[in-house]
Amino acid sequence: MFDKNEEKTSLFKRLKEGLSKTKQGITEKVDNLVKSFHKIDENLFEELEEILITADIGVQTTLEIIDDLKDRVKTDKLQNPEDIKVILKEKLVEILNECSDNNKLNIEPSPAIILVVGVNGVGKTTTIGKIAYKLKGQDKKVLLAAGDTFRAAASEQLKIWADRVGVDVIKHQEGADSSAVIYDAICAAKAREIDVLICDTAGRLHNKINLMNELSKTFRITDREYKDATKEVLLVLDATTGQNAVQQARVFKEAANISGLVLTKLDGTAKGGVVISISREIKIPVKLIGVGEKMVDLQEFDANRFIDVLFG
């Protein structure tokens, strides 16, 4: 039988491996910086500011962090550059914990519906497959809906994931009305007494008005046909796109009532500071992060563990 402690150790190890590039991009540079200074001064703060901005923490968030660190140094009369690492870590945890009271997937009580939104190419299909795998491992009855009917082969890709996980998928032909797929999937979920229905949605971001119209139609159908279901709206973002991901989050936040974020491909970037930038600027909880290609590499986001791995 698989040991739960062994599983936790394995997940922590995968997280550590997945964040290795970000660790190099932030904490190793911070380490080298504080070692090169004998006292805390303005030059140290200027160089720290550059490190944080380069790591995609964002200009606005970085300036706020630097101001807070300066205040703390002055208040506590700190002089040792090593203290900067300690108070920086505390500040980053504080930012990430601001909306962490609701960073678990909202799927209780059953039935639940998860609507997955995001532009093409961010890893929506893969994310849906990995969420299905995670929930099936919790003995949930899961059904998928191939609502991204505009992108060529999107339904076929979702079907491959469904087969791999061992769940069914409701799909129509390419170019069909996305909302009609969601409607049929809701009917099937009710008939089969499904615990969690996970719906892919159209990933076009050609302009804000069309995006809003497409998503609004989908949300109207879910509200009308599945009004008693627990609802989660996840926005999938590609961490490697940095501040572009922050901008996408702003647009989708206007178009839909996003309840959680999924940041994919964190293992592929040294700029994982975008997690901090998004948490501060968008104020939507990060619920899942992707740190590799394996099924288990889509992990629940834990702010304390995330920062511990970076600074450990």
Mean pLDDT of 279-301: 92
CA distances from 182 to 168, 209, 218, 288 (A): 14, 21, 7, 23
pLDDT digits (tens, 9 = 90+) for 93-120: 999 988 766 788 999 999 999 999 998 8
Report the percent of the chain where pLDDT is more than 90.
Answer: 65
- Up-side HSE of residue 290: CA atoms within 13 Å toward CB? 26
Domains and their CATH numbers in the chain: 4-100 (1.20.120.140), 107-258 (3.40.50.300)
User: Would you say the pTM of this structure is higher than 0.75?
Assistant: yes
Predicted confidence at residue 3, as pLDDT, reads: 41
Residue whose entry in the numeric block shows the structure tokens 């930038």: 277
Alpha-carbon distance of 151 to 120, in angstroms, equals: 8
pLDDT digits (tens, 9 = 90+) for 1-35: 334 444 555 778 889 999 999 998 898 999 999 99
